[in-house]
Structure 1
Amino acid sequence: MAFYDTLKLEKGMYTAGKGFTRTLEELDPSANYEGTPLAGLDAYQRQLKRFDIRVGGTGSDPVEKFFQTSDSAALFPEYVSRAVRQGIERADLLPGIVATVTKINSMDYRTITSDPLPQDKELLPVAEGAEIPRTVVKTQENLVRLHKRGRMLVASYEALRFQKLDLFTVTLRQIGAYIARAQLDDAVNVLLDGDGNDNPAPATDVTGALSYQNMVSLWSALQPYELNTILASTPAVEDILNLKEFQDSAAGLDFQGTGRLATPLGAKLLHVPSLSGSRLIGLDKNCALEMVQAGDVLTDSDKLIDRQLERASISVIAGFAKIFAGACRAVSYTGE
């Protein structure tokens, strides 16, 4: 069994189809370190310790520390991927609206659907000898549209070599935040317009200002699904927070003290600045949307290892599909 400080690191670990960390884990399993000072670290973190590379904190090392040897240079693309992933996770609202995440190893994916009639959802008693009602599950007609979102890293090694990794991490996290916001826009577009399989969200147009009755109507119209998440544009968030029915003292203190938005009718309110106009979307996050990911955060590992940072790309490929079309409804109002 290979030990962490004797492993030979190379570029090929990024092209093995498993990912760098998973390849390391197979060569140097974390289970071997239980009860040792290295317990709690994954295989990549043990390699950082091996080369004494500090990527965070006041004592973080300069970027050039990764390039002290050819082995340590192989860790740099994984550092970039992890920093970008942290930025995605910090700015990511998708866990609040996605029911499941499907990871694929190709660019073609066709999801499944089941659209039972209202009477099929009631599960009425079945008489003796009678046929049990069926739930038909089938594949969608059209493929899920995958979008590549990312940034090109434009910088010379000479410009970055003496910069602290802690500062460089902040920049990479911001790239991740950009990607997260773009993916949220993709998800909202699928919720509103459908995923290409003739399944747009049913929409209600309201003339005038948003009222408490409109919120109750949204809650009742979503049945038998549960209204547990509301996506709202900036004007809609302001209008919801100004409804007197939601202006109780507890909600006000929570918003003023923590910044957490109110939970109208028990639903989690999420602010989506890119959502245009006075519009909100109500959904059941447990069964409305599927996220499809083709791989993880992708980097030009060869260029990063060879210090060719001038045109190194960082990208993510993902798409969204509706699971149950009826688990999402939209409301637009004039606000006048």
Structure 2
Amino acid sequence: MYNEIKLEKGLYNLSGKSFTAALEELDPTSAYAGSPLEKLDAFERQLKRFNIRINGQDCDRVEKFFSTTETAILFPEFVTRCIRKGFDETVLRSVCAAKTVCASSQYLGCVMDDQTAAYEPTEQAVQLPEATVREGSTATVLSKFGRLISASYEAIRQQRLDVFGVMLRSVGVRLAVSVVKEAVDVLVDGVTPITTSALTYSDLAALYGEFDCFDMTTVITSPELASKIAAMEQVKDCNANSEGKLVLPFGSELIKTSAADDDTIIGIDRDFALEFITSTDLVMETDKLIDRQLDQMTVSITCGFRKITPDAVKVLTVNSNE
């Protein structure tokens, strides 16, 4: 049972496993089917075991994690989860078709050559047109993104966990924005844009019309251009989706990010356009957190992006000098 698990630092250092995955092996969630605990994962059950409340009216303070040597083991996972939540709440999940975990700092994916012939009826006894899948010639080099957070134990020990969690989430959001900038660069690379001198709804419709086999599910642009789009007469009555993103009249989700240039609007089919490649999950220095040596906390992720289907990406450039 969850209240009999022995918590120790070694759970963070098992090869190929996160702390929660290691806990799940010791305390499988499947064993709680039909019980009040079935909706909690192994980490959340440990919070319940030690009565650590991380939100709500009776939320505990940071020092509650350090009331025993075992509860201190849980603190790095709390920090990582907060930062990961901020990281995952960004546009990354709205633009990536697939995620690949790579063991090295370089990734060589495959490419498909499918442009030699149109998809048309083939006469009997005639060889079918060929689509060739081959290993790519250029490797994607993964980059390391990270942040060093300075916060002494004395400074945060009396801080409510929900407020401290929000601060950590904001770090995750800012970290993700720098990662998204690389995703945007990969999307626009090699794309011949259509251009306009003054952004109008007709230009957006023209971008939508650029898509042939694929659909424009997502429009990515800067906050400045996003505000201009939202102010258009044709868009003013549009509703937001369940995630609060504005949906344009032709069904595309509008994503605003400071990672995009102020003169660029990117249309993609998110089910086909981009591959997210990572060699690590978010990495924390766990020993220092457990030992209350919090003067410098570091968090990092090593990742990169690769365009999967070039035809699933179209670009509109707003050139005010024309």
Q: Same fold judged by TM-score > 0.5?
A: yes
Q: Which amino acid aligns with 2:208?
A: W
Give runs of aligned pairs for residues 1-336 of structure 1, distance below 5 A.
Answer: 3-16=1-14, 17-90=16-89, 92-117=90-115, 119-120=117-118, 122=119, 124-193=120-189, 200-206=190-196, 208-244=197-233, 246-247=234-235, 250-251=237-238, 254=239, 260-335=245-320
Specify the SS of the correspondent of 1:78: helix
Give 1:262 shift.
Answer: 4.5
Give 1:174 shift.
Answer: 0.8
Rounded to whole Å, the distance in 1 between the matches of 2:267 and 2:245 is 18
Q: Is the 8 Å Cα contact of residues 235 and 278 (structure 1) preserved in structure 2? A: no
Q: Could you list the per-position Cα deviations for residues 254-312 of structure 1 after superposition, in whole angstroms to 9, with x for gaps in the alignment? A: 47xx9753414322221123322322111111111111122222100111111111122
Specify the SS of the correspondent of 1:149: strand
Q: Could you list the per-position Cα deviations for residues 130-168 of structure 1 after superposition, in whole angstroms to 9, with x for gaps in the alignment? A: 322222112222222322222212111122222221221
* Superposed CA RMSD: 2.1
Q: Is the 8 Å Cα contact of residues 180 and 259 (structure 2) preserved in structure 1? A: no
Give 1:38 shift.
Answer: 2.0
More divergent stretch after superposition (225-234 vs 176-185): 225-234
Q: Could you list the per-position Cα deviations for residues 47-101 of structure 1 after superposition, in whole angstroms to 9, with x for gaps in the alignment? A: 11111111111211121211222221111111111111111233x1122211111
Change in Cα spacing, 1:128 to 1:241, as seen in structure 2 (3 Å) is same
Percent identity at matched positions?
36
Could you tell me which residue of structure 2 aligns to residue 196 of structure 1?
none
Rounded to whole Å, the distance in 2 between the matches of 1:287 and 1:37 is 40
Q: Tell me the TM-score normalised to structure 1 length.
A: 0.87
Rounded to whole Å, the distance in 1 between the matches of 2:207 and 2:62 is 52
Q: Is the 8 Å Cα contact of residues 241 and 262 (structure 1) preserved in structure 2? A: no
Number of equivalences: 318
Change in Cα spacing, 1:156 to 1:236, as seen in structure 2 (3 Å) is closer
Rounded to whole Å, the distance in 2 between the matches of 1:202 and 1:326 is 11
Rounded to whole Å, the distance in 1 between the matches of 2:175 and 2:66 is 28
Unaligned runs of 5+ in 2: none
Change in Cα spacing, 1:173 to 1:259, as seen in structure 2 (3 Å) is closer
Rounded to whole Å, the distance in 2 between the matches of 1:243 and 1:119 is 40
Q: Which amino acid aligns with 1:67?
A: F
Unaligned runs of 5+ in 1: 194-199
Q: Which amino acid aligns with 1:170?
A: V
Q: Is the 8 Å Cα contact of residues 102 and 290 (structure 1) preserved in structure 2? A: yes
More divergent stretch after superposition (315-324 vs 268-277): 268-277
Rounded to whole Å, the distance in 1 between the matches of 2:52 and 2:162 is 11
